[in-house]
Chains A and B, each alone.
Chain A
């Protein structure tokens, strides 16, 4: 494919993976890496068994148990029967089909989107899929990564390909210096609040600009992770020295000479001058403040010191109905402020914010302090490696002294599939990605925020402007 037309990085990677483009059909797109977990894979394996076919290439498939695992006593058999059965089914399927599984107790186990990058399985230029919408996280390394349904998991297991129409492209450029107390989670919550939860549907996003360039890999992952929350199929960031430094020496990444050769290849993964996007948006980093959501979708966010919109500020009547329903669910009044609102739970975890840098941020804020008496604080590391690193750095001692509970890795209260649930009517400030009704447990109420804001709330027991602390 040697067209002279300038291309975006997205188009370069996509075109490089088209096995077949036929009239009247979506592209058959080759998938370099397929991550699977216990919840969205069993029915796909059943499909393979029914058809009597094997996994196309087991070397390109990696499994872990994360969504439905307890975060306490992981060395013991899972108590809840259905959860245990689901994890056991994953074990059996991985064994039967010859797929490597980072099971509970394995030093590499963890949330699928956290272990891929930390093991060097996630690399620039790849196509990556997983039966989970936050697969977009991997895009931080300059690849095409997106979530798929179980029928598609079956397609990829069976053929290492997926049938897809090429999405449109959107560039989101952010320039400028971030203010005090503002971190990458605030950037993405701000963008989503501007675009709404459907504003990027049908698009694949490329994040650019000097604000993005100056972020660490882990901070970039937080941004790409939440691309789906504005409807985008995925989001990516062109790789640079920060990316290459992160990848170097990881467990499964290319080593020595092979790594240097790869870096030369990866350097070409950038959008050509003059390449066109279907949509372009620009934001200023100085407009971004610590953010928080007040409603029941991630688009319902605001600067933490702002007021919730009033009903009359909404244009459409249909919008007003959903808005009112959302605020009723949250127990909040239109036009009110969240600052000072008491919270009951603080959840620090999930594929959005459970990496070592997130835990360090939290620890830096709480060191020498204690949590407020009215809150329960859960810190759920994203992986076994993150957990070990936190202990090596003594973060566990800081959390313990503050009255935080450091548990074992898993998706946990982000989606409340296991027993980590926020009780009916309780407020939780969470570093995760979704504030949907009941997301953290039936009738639970979620405020999404950064690890810094969550840590500040843990100390004061209420929604707090983190800038008062830093």
Chain B
């Protein structure tokens, strides 16, 4: 079952990663996709940005910074482009993030995130800029996420975000797509015979 926990309210400090077009090969390089389970990918999240080719920690990469931590990743636009590997969503979740905020997500990544209890939030370019500025200025700043109300808030400045009704219900209740599809079994069987 892909859903790990129900999602309601979240309030947390954030990790800023302003790079644009962060692709899934950066999130989790292909050579770490050899596992046959869903666990443990967090160790290799952003592997080649966190460690150099000698395996030494890259000090100025944000995940290695002592200043930034939290359950929210704030990233530049077109986050998650490239490969369909769900391992990218697993790695981000496994590392401890529960929300990714950006002004634009790649399609498959967004689906994969939603299927794994990781909430992708699309905000306006202006709001994203403000988030980066605020978090850079004070890394302890907390960002509030209310999925029910579909709002994100920082320093009392709120923005509403879109999420389709079905996926929202799934996130809030911890439902899985398969449960719904399995309930259609009879209709699918009939369809299969005529196609």
A residues lining the B interface (CB < 8 Å): 17, 19-20, 24-26, 28, 30, 32, 39-40, 42-43, 46-47, 50-51, 53, 56-57, 67-68, 82-83, 85-86, 89, 131-133, 135, 147-152, 154-155, 158-163, 165, 167, 197-198, 201-202, 228, 231, 233, 297, 299, 318-319, 321-322, 325, 415-417, 424, 434, 436-439, 442-443
Contacts and interface: CB of A to CB of B under 8 A. Distances in A.
Interface stretch (B33-41, B139-147, B149-157): B33-41
Given A151-B86, A417-B31, A424 B185 contact: no
A20 B34 contact: no
Interface in B175-195: 177-178, 180-182, 184-185, 187-188, 191-192, 195
Nearest to B51: A442
Contacts of A318: 18, 20, 76-77, 129
Nearest to B129: A318
Given A68-B34, A202-B107, A297-B23, A437 B48 contact: yes
B96 interface: no
A319 B112 contact: no
Contacts of A50: 1
Contact of B177 (A147, A155, A417): A155
B70 interface: no
Nearest to A423: B53
A115 B1 CA distance: 31
Contacts of B178: 47, 51, 154-155, 158-159
A159 B82 contact: no
Nearest to B36: A42
B38 A43 contact: yes
> 10 nearest interchain CB pairs?
A149-B86, A42-B36, A82-B34, A147-B84, A149-B112, A151-B115, A159-B181, A133-B84, A198-B78, A150-B86
A216 to B, nearest CB: 27
Q: Choose among B34, B48, B165, B182 the residue with the greatest number of A CB atoms under 10 Å from its CB.
A: B34
A159 B21 contact: no
A443 B33 contact: no
Contacts of A434: 23, 25, 82-83
A142 B21 CA distance: 30
Contacts of A443: 48, 53
Contacts of A297: 21, 23, 81
Contacts of A82: 34-35
Contacts of A26: 164, 166
A438 B86 contact: no
B187 A19 contact: yes
B26 A438 contact: yes
Contacts of A68: 33-34
Contacts of B20: 318-319, 321-322
B188 A159 contact: yes
B48 A438 contact: yes
A151 B112 contact: yes
A90 to B, nearest CB: 9
B170 to A, nearest CB: 10
A159 B182 contact: yes
Q: Choose among B78, B116, B187 the residue with the greatest number of A CB atoms under 10 Å from its CB.
A: B78
A322 B180 contact: no
A469 B129 CA distance: 49
Interface string B29-57: 11101111110000000001000010000
